[in-house]
Amino acid sequence: MSLDKDQIHKLATLSRIAIDEATLESVGERLSAVLDLVDQLQAADTTGVEPMAHPLQTTQKLRDDVVSEPNHQEAFQTLSDSIHDGLYLVPKVIE
């Protein structure tokens, strides 16, 4: 399995990671090596096997519909330098 440049660009877009054109080839080679490893799965006979998403076969517990967490907005927003009136500032999205 080897990935072409278009596929790597697509993955970079899906992952929201900028990839330097100069490293595209080496990134592709290493991704392809991992996908070769992963391709060993295709040889396994999994006919009729139920997929296992999680080790625990439990159902989610329900809790009473009451407020259990106070509002931490102020504490959380101390982590960002780009705050204005309690809002996070990002580059302009709408003209």
Per-residue binding letters, 66-95, with another protein (x by CB under 8 A): ------x--xxxxxxxx-----x-xxxx--
**Amino acid (1-letter code) at residue 36:** D
16: left (phi over 0), alpha (psi -120 to 50) or beta: left
**Site for another protein contains 16 (CB under 8 A):** yes
Interacting residue with another protein among 6, 22, 49, 66 (CB under 8 A): 49
Separation of alpha carbons 4 and 11, rounded Å: 11
Separation of alpha carbons 3 and 25, rounded Å: 9
Q: Which stretches of the chain bind another protein, using CB under 8 A?
A: 8, 10-12, 14-20, 27, 30-31, 33-42, 44, 46, 49-56, 58, 60-61, 63, 72, 75-82, 88, 90-93
